[in-house]
Structure 1
Amino acid sequence: MGRKKGTVEFDESPPDGYDPENPYKDPVVYFDMREYQVREKWIDIEKAKILREKLKWCYRIEGVNHLQKCRHLVQQYLDATRGIGWGKDGRHPSLHGPKVEAESE
């Protein structure tokens, strides 16, 4: 027995044959899709954690100049955290933004 030489490749695409209109048509594909969605959500959460650590270090190193020097990291972090998490509201991530006030007449 020996190991196969080469690189390991992971299938990072959603499962083939998933029908969002009728997700329970094929239970195997349904559970594969759930696993895919959970995996993607965890990846997004971990990316946000890495950006948070970079932002902490930028604040510590830059000191009083952090508002100018770390602005790009703040924007990246805010974009990365918008719509991720395990909230109970089933809204699409694009709807998780700042609340827009209605115009008063």
Structure 2
Amino acid sequence: MGRKKGVVEFDESPPDDFDPANPYKDPVAMLEMREHLVREKWIDIEKAKILREKLKWCYRIEGVNHLQKCRHLVQQYLDSTRGIGWGKDGRHPSLHGPKVVEAESE
């Protein structure tokens, strides 16, 4: 038994026959869509983990200068963690409700 040559290609797109207005119309498409969403969420989580490791190393290497030298990694990490997760805070930002605006002092 030998190894197969070449790279395996995966279909990374959502199912074509999924109807968001009526998700229960086609149960197979609904399950494929759910698997697609879970796969995309895991990819986002793993990207955030990789950025976190890079940030840890940057903090260790730069020492006291980490505030200036690692700022770009901090911003990338915060952007990558926004909106991911499995709990209530993993909702899309538009579903979090209205933003609280500070009242102006008179």
Aligned AA for 2:57? W
Q: Does 2:38 align with 1:38?
A: yes
The answer to whether the 8 Å contact 1:44/1:80 transfers is yes
Q: Give 1:101's aligned residue.
A: 101
Between the two proteins, the alignment pairs up a number of residues equal to: 103
Aligned AA for 1:77? Y
CA distance 1:58–1:90, shift in 2 (3 Å):
closer
Deviations 1:35-67 (A, max 9, x none): 000000000000000000000000000000000
Distance in 2, matches of 1:42 and 1:90, equals: 12
Distance in 2, matches of 1:91 and 1:40, equals: 14
Aligned AA for 2:53? E
Q: Does 2:95 align with 1:70?
A: no
Q: CA deviation at 1:4?
A: 4.3
Q: Identity, % of aligned pairs?
A: 85
Aligned AA for 1:51? L
Q: Secondary structure at the match of 2:83?
A: coil
In structure 1, runs of 5+ residues without a counterpart are none
Q: Give 1:47's aligned residue.
A: 47
Q: TM-score scaled by structure 1? A: 0.85
CA RMSD of aligned residues (A): 2.2
Q: CA deviation at 1:7?
A: 1.7
In structure 2, runs of 5+ residues without a counterpart are none
